[in-house]
Every structure is written in C-alpha cells, then in structure tokens.
Homo-oligomer: A and B are copies of this chain.
Amino acid sequence: MAQTSTRDRIVITAARLLQRQGYVGTGIKQIAREAQATLGSVYHFFPEGKEAVAVAAIKHGDQEFSALLRAALDSEESPSAAVNACARRLAEALRESGWVDGCPITAAALETLGSDSEIQRVCAAALRAWEQLVYDKLLRSGLDAEDAKDLASTIISTLEGAEVTAQVNRSEEPLRAAGRQLARLVGSYDKASNLRDRPSCT
C-alpha cells in the first residue's frame, strides 16, 4: 500500500469506506485521512468532488466483486455447485472482515435512490454485470435462455440479500443456506432435462 499511487490509495480506501458506511456516512476528509493523503490530493485527482470519488470507488468495488464471482463460478463445472461456491466464498470473506465488508454497492445504491446521480447508474451497471456473469455460466451449462435470465437475476438478488442478512446477524448461516437452496433451484433445471431423458420415468 505504501508503494501504490496516491490516486489508487484514495480509490481503494474510498471503496472500503463506502462499502461499510455508505455514501453520506463517509466524509471526504475521512477518505483523505485513511488513505494517507491530503485533502488537496483528493481534490487534485477528483476536481468534481465527492461524487466523482464515489463513482471511481464503486467501479473499483464492482471489478473486485466481479473477480470473486468469476473465480467462484469457474471453480466448479456444474452450475449448481458453482452457485453454491459463490455463496461460500462470500460467507468466508464476510466472516474474515468481521462482518463489515459486504456487497460493495448496496449501501451507496440505497442512499442515492431518490436522486438521479451518476452513483445510481454505476451501481445499476455493476448489478447488471454480475448478473451477466451468472447468466453466461448458466448458458454454458446448457440452460434455456429464458430460464437462465430469470435464474441469474434471482441468484444475484439472493446473494445480495443473503449477504445483508448475514451481516446483520453476524453469521455465515444465511449465506450458506442461500447457497444450498440456490444449488437446489439450479439443479432442478438440470433434473428436469434429466427426467425428460431418463427412460424409466416417462
């Protein structure tokens, strides 16, 4: 962290703080302090002010989360096991952070719902990107396009919600339960085709 550029330190620190305290709860002076930068540096790199810092930070969090999701999805071949792996990795990361580092965008997204700020748009884009990752995995596994669309949306929603529930309860269990149930749900689409092809049950 000492050899990273000042700009990177600001973005990374802002991402962590936004994720934990939300947009309004995070001061630009706090970002500067914890990033070991000065207020002048922050406004030098982000002359448009706080919102620009937040947008960059959310994009950073988006990519980090995408990487985690991609790794988990690629770690298992079957889509149901892959989805379960996502939930398990999220649970692990959440516990290790002391239940504070959850979804990088939820808090900021909820606070800026009323306003039509740029923050809204990057959050929406992040959600869409994550859904696309899941969607692609499901398609590669041979699911119907329409089924995959509904499923991918639900999987992201469930992971999102289970993460919040896990944070509030300070427990991995909501995420683990969500992983199990999502695996069962995804598996039910496989089984449907299995049943169709199985000669003993038609």
* Chain A residues close to B by CB (< 8 Å): 20-25, 99-100, 102, 106-107, 109-111, 113-114, 120, 123-124, 127-128, 149-151, 153-154, 156-165, 167-169, 173-174, 177-178, 180-182, 184-185, 188, 201
Give 13 pairs: A residue, B residue, CB < 8 Å, sorted on A.
A21-B24, A21-B111, A120-B168, A149-B177, A151-B181, A157-B161, A157-B165, A157-B177, A158-B162, A159-B161, A160-B160, A184-B185, A185-B188
Known: A102-B113, A160-B165; 7 extra A-B contacts, CB below 8 A, are: A25-B25, A123-B168, A153-B174, A154-B177, A157-B162, A157-B178, A201-B201
Q: Are A20's CB and B114's CB within 8 A?
A: yes
Copies in the complex: 2
Q: Are B158's CB and A154's CB within 8 A?
A: yes
Q: Are A110's CB and B120's CB within 8 A?
A: no
Residues of B contacting A120 with CB < 8 Å? 168
Q: Are A110's CB and B22's CB within 8 A?
A: yes
Residues of B contacting A164 with CB < 8 Å? 106, 109-110, 157, 160-161
Instruction: Determine the distance from Cα of A105 to Cα of B201 in the docked complex, in whole angstroms.
Output: 47
Residue of B nearest to A99 (CB): B113
Q: Are A22's CB and B20's CB within 8 A?
A: no
Chain B nearest Cβ from A124, distance in angstroms: 5
Instruction: Determine the distance from Cα of A165 to Cα of B169 in the docked complex, in whole angstroms.
Output: 21
